[in-house]
Structures are given as structure tokens and as C-alpha cells.
């Protein structure tokens, strides 16, 4: 097999029950791109100190698994990028369903000169309050040019140039990374693109299980801004994976 041109990187903590639902959409999107491009790709799952069968399930579904013991989402993504072989990096969370065209569209954008980009998420939580909260953040990001870590992509050269994700950020590491990626694109003349015609679909497990007030507290800009580097503040967010 030829060396992979594109690597899908998936951070995973205790996702054994969710990977069988979502990982097949990643492989389907990857195979669709391989079919039209004639190139090959890989899926790298980064097992972040899981206490369940995440690593076993990921391997059984066809992914290559690497391990990162330190619980830091930025560090986990960086570990996946170091292990990956592709010249294009496609980051997606373990509980996100990809549309079939996702990887093809991202790869085409990078092959056309984009340094990176994102596919916006479509959240569909059950409660009205949660839907309004998601709508607010979607509007905020569209106005400010940000992108969530549920899906971001970039060339390996761009990733190296901006030095990846900040491992000391326990929240908003995705927004901070994307801001630096955008600045790098402006400085080099390579665009950062938003594939607005597509949507990735994250699970709404946390929105459905936690109250809107609780979610508003944890997603409040003030709380996030002043607690970015505090593992103690975010310990419940990291350890209480909602099922």
C-alpha cells in the first residue's frame, strides 16, 4: 500500500460504545475520497487513557491506535499528528458523524491551496434551551471566523508552522489553534476555508444529559476565558464523559 496522503485523527476517551456508531461514517468518507483521488488515507485513534475497550474496538473497526496517557485534548491531538503519516491532517471527535463528501471536500480544498479549514457542526439537542445555546455559539463562530474542534483540518506544513494545539489549554484549544491557523494563512496567502455546504453531526449526549443551566455555566465565555489552563476547573468536564 502507498503511504497515506491524508490522516484522520480522532481523540478518544472511553468511546467503546460510541465508536461503532460513528467511526464507520469516517471510513465511508475516507473510502469515498480514496475512490475519486486514487490516493490512500489512514485513521488514527488516540486512546487517551481510556478505562474501557476503546483501543480494542477502534482496532477491530480498522483504525490504527496510539496512546496518550495525559488527559489534555490539545496534547492528544498533537500526539495523533505526530503519529500520522499524511501530508493532510483531518481532526474529528469520536462522537461525530461525517457526511460522505466531507473528506473529499477538505482534501480538495487543501490540494487547491488552502492551509486548512473546518466543516461546521449541526447540533440537534432535544431541549429548547440547549438548541438556543448551540444556535448562539454557531452564530458567534460564524461572526468571528472560529471553528470547533469537532472538525478541523490543515496541511501538515501548516500544523508544524503554527506548532499544533496548545497542550496547556483544557478548553477552547480548538478556537485558539484555529485563530493561529487563520493568521498563518493570511501571512502566507493560503486561505482557511469553511465548507458551509456540509455539516458534521456531533452527538448531543452532554446537552441532553446535563441541564441547560449547567451547560451555560461550562460554556460561558467568562468561565472559559479565565480557566483555560486549569486542569482542576475542567476535571469534571474531562472525567465525567456523558453517556
What pLDDT digit, counting tens, does each position of 143-182 carry?
766 777 799 999 999 999 999 999 998 777 898 999 999 9
For position 5, what pLDDT does the model report? 98
| Percentage with pLDDT > 90 across the chain | 66
What does the DSSP 8-state code read for residue 200? B
State the residue for C-alpha cell 496517557.
Answer: 69
pTM: 0.89
State the residue for C-alpha cell 475512490.
Answer: 35
Q: Is 211 helix (H, G, I), strand (E, B) or coil?
A: coil
CATH number listed for the domain at residues 6-239: 3.90.550.10
Within 6-69, residue ranges assigned H as helices are 19-37, 54-60
Q: How many C-alpha atoms does 144 have within 13 Å on its Cβ side? A: 13
**Section 181-188 average pLDDT:** 96
Cα three-residue angle 173-196-110, rounded to 5 degrees:
70
CB-CB contact of 99 with 79 (8 Å):
no
Q: Is 9 helix (H, G, I), strand (E, B) or coil?
A: strand
Q: Is the pLDDT of residue 222 over 70?
A: no
For position 243, what pLDDT does the model report? 44
Q: What average pLDDT does the structure give for the chain?
A: 89
Rg of the Cα atoms in the chain? 17
Lowest mean pLDDT among 29-43, 63-77, 114-128, 180-194: 114-128
Lowest mean pLDDT among 41-50, 97-106, 229-238: 229-238
Amino acid at each position: 500500500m502507498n503511504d497515506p496522503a491524508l490522516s484522520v485523527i480522532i481523540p478518544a476517551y472511553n468511546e467503546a460504545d460510541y465508536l461503532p456508531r460513528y467511526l464507520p461514517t469516517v471510513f465511508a468518507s475516507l473510502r469515498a475520497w480514496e475512490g475519486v483521488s486514487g490516493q490512500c488515507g489512514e485513521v488514527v485513534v488516540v486512546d487517551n487513557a481510556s478505562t474501557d475497550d476503546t483501543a480494542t474496538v477502534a482496532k477491530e473497526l480498522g483504525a490504527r491506535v496510539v496512546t496518550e496517557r495525559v488527559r489534555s485534548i490539545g496534547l492528544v491531538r498533537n500526539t495523533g499528528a505526530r503519529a500520522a503519516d499524511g501530508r493532510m491532517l483531518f481532526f474529528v471527535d469520536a462522537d461525530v458523524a461525517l457526511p460522505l463528501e466531507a473528506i473529499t471536500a477538505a482534501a480538495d480544498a487543501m490540494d487547491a491551496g488552502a492551509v486548512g479549514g473546518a466543516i461546521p457542526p449541526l447540533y440537534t439537542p432535544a431541549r429548547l434551551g440547549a438548541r438556543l445555546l448551540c444556535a448562539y455559539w454557531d452564530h458567534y463562530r460564524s461572526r468571528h471566523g472560529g471553528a470547533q474542534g469537532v472538525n478541523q483540518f490543515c496541511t501538515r506544513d501548516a500544523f508544524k508552522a503554527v506548532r499544533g494545539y496548545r497542550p496547556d489549554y483544557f478548553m477552547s484549544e480548538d478556537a485558539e489553534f484555529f485563530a493561529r491557523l487563520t493568521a498563518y494563512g493570511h501571512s502566507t496567502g493560503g486561505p482557511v476555508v469553511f465548507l458551509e455546504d456540509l455539516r458534521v453531526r456531533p452527538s448531543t449526549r452532554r446537552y441532553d444529559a446535563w441541564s441547560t443551566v449547567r451547560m451555560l455555566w461550562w460554556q460561558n465565555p467568562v468561565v472559559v476565558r479565565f480557566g483555560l489552563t486549569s486542569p482542576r476547573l475542567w476535571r469534571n468536564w474531562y472525567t465525567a464523559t456523558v453517556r
